[in-house]
Structures are given as C-alpha cells and as structure tokens.
C-alpha cells in the first residue's frame, strides 16, 4: 500500500488533471526518470511494475479505451530487474586454512561463528553470554523481524566460546565481541589476506550454506535452520554454480 501511495501520489502531482488516455510512453519515461533517479535497478523495476498494474486496472475495470503506456518494449527494457549477482563461493580447505591461521582467540571465534554456523557479522557482534544456551545461540531482534531466532553451534565451537567467555570474565548481559561492524570486516579481510584472497563477512556465511548443501544436507535444512531464510529461492542464490570437474566428482562419489 505504501508503494502504491508513493507512486500514485507522485503521478497525480506530475500529471495533474491530464486524462489518463492522453498519457504517452514518452510521458511515462519522463515521470519514471524523475521518481527513480538515484535508486537501485530493482526499485525502478518495482515502481514501473506498480504503475503498469495501475493502468491495467483502469483499462480492465473502468475504461477499456485506455491504453497502457507502460506497455512499451523500450520502457520494459529500461526498467527490468537487474541480473542476479553470482556470489563468491569459498571451498572448505580455504576456509579451514583461514581459521587455523588466525591465532587471535577472539577473531577465530568470530570467523567460526560465521563460517561454521552461518551467522551474519551483525548477529555475532550482538551476542551476549545470556544468548548462549548449550549448543544454541539466540539471536535477538533478527533481520527477519521475528522476536528471536536460534542458531545451532558445532560442539567444539560452543565449547571454545564458553571457555572464552569464562576466561575473559564477560558479564552475562555484556557483548561478547564489543566491536564495530567496520572492525569485524577488517578482521575478516586480514584473515583472508593470510591466504591471499579478498573476502567479506558474508562470504563466510555463504560458505556455511554451500558446504552444508554439498555435504548432503537437505536444502530445507540449509534454508530454514542454517541460514534462516524465509524462502528457498534466496538460499539457492547462495549455493553458487558447480564446475564440470566438481559435477563429475560428485557423480563419481554417488555412483562409485
């Protein structure tokens, strides 16, 4: 509703009392250029789609003589969705080496929570000792909008995390990793430099998903439990493409 209010409010202001049947494709191009200046391609696509739907509604329900000026090949090409980005996929041996080469206990734990449990950097930074329950980490106010979500931790990571909390004397409600997001990004970047690759925090989360999937974990578990996505299509983007060599290796593994 808010998106429609935005589009139609600006549309009325832009065109005033002009009859809808008089609006041309060139007029729509001028209008769309005004209200989408500086926005991402997917936002442009959304606003164009809503405007086109509005004209279709008028034509189908109110006045069959009205033509949809958005029904133009040029406009559809200009305001189509951007191509999906192919994410970087890190192999397990690379991630293992990055983690094993990280000598700082705090930094290694942060890397493991992202690479082993699929946590976002921001989620790692918000953790407190109260959020750790055996092998579970409770995410308060998660990105999904839910009250809380649960992350499952490997036993060794959970043990090291509890040891770290105890040795550092971290109070129950204090942040385990009291760093800024910029500092976390720098930790990940420096860890990648140890093996001469450029990585960002989310690359480690994607690795967790890819490794789980290629190890035979059902997609539903990867999506709903590991990544906590609301739909499978988002998870599938994380898994990346498979090379011919890797495909043949998996076929050999499956069928001897």
Nearest to 175 by CA among 183, 162, 165, 189: 165
- Asked if the structure places residue 35 within a domain, the reply is yes
- What is the reported pLDDT for 189? 95
Is the per-residue pLDDT at 13 higher than 70?
yes
Distance CA 209, CA 198 (A): 19
**Do 104 and 228 belong together in one domain?**
yes
**Do 56 and 107 belong together in one domain?**
no
pLDDT above 70 coverage of the chain, percent: 87
- Asked if the structure places residue 85 within a domain, the reply is no
pLDDT category, 247, cuts 50, 70, 90?
A: low
Is the per-residue pLDDT at 180 higher than 70?
yes
- Asked if the structure places residue 83 within a domain, the reply is no
Is the per-residue pLDDT at 255 higher than 80?
no
**Do 182 and 227 belong together in one domain?**
yes
- What is the reported pLDDT for 244? 59
Count of domains forming the chain: 2
- Asked if the structure places residue 103 within a domain, the reply is yes
- Asked if the structure places residue 225 within a domain, the reply is yes
- Asked if the structure places residue 222 within a domain, the reply is yes
Which residues make Cβ contacts (< 8 Å) with residue 39, sequence separation at least 6?
47
pLDDT category, 147, cuts 50, 70, 90?
A: confident
- What is the reported pLDDT for 254? 53
First to last CA, the chain: 55
Task: Tell me, rounded to whole angstroms, the distance of Cα 156 from its chain centroid.
Answer: 27
**Do 100 and 155 belong together in one domain?**
yes
**Do 123 and 250 belong together in one domain?**
yes
Averaged pLDDT, 80-97: 75
- What is the reported pLDDT for 87? 55
Is the per-residue pLDDT at 89 higher than 80?
no
Helix (H) or strand (E) holding 212: helix 201-214
Averaged pLDDT, 49-60: 92
**Does the predicted TM-score (pTM) go above 0.75?**
no
């Amino acid at each position: 509703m808010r998106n429609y209010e935005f589009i139609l409010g600006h549309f009325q202001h832009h065109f005033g009392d002009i009859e809808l049947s008089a609006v041309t494709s060139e007029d729509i191009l001028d209008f769309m250029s005004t209200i989408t200046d500086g926005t991402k391609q997917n936002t442009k696509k959304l606003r164009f789609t809503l405007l086109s739907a509005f004209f279709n509604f008028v034509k189908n329900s109110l006045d069959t003589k009205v033509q949809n000026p958005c029904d133009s090949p040029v406009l559809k090409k200009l305001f189509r969705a951007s191509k999906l980005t192919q994410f970087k996929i890190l192999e397990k041996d690379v991630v293992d080496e990055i983690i094993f080469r990280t000598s700082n206990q705090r930094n290694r734990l942060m890397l493991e929570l992202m690479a082993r449990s699929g946590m976002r950097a921001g989620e790692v930074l918000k953790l407190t000792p109260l959020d750790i329950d055996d092998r579970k980490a409770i995410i308060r106010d998660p990105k999904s909008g839910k009250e809380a979500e649960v992350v499952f931790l490997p036993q060794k990571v959970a043990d090291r995390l509890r040891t770290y909390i105890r040795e550092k004397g971290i109070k129950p409600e204090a942040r385990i990793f009291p760093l800024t997001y910029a500092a976390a990004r720098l930790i990940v970047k420096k860890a990648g430099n140890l093996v001469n690759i450029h990585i960002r925090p989310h690359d480690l989360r994607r690795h967790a998903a890819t490794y789980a999937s290629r190890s035979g974990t059902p997609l539903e578990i990867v999506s709903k439990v590991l990544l906590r996505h609301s739909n499978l299509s988002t998870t599938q983007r994380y898994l990346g493409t498979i090379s011919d060599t890797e495909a043949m290796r998996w076929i050999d593994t499956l069928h001897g």
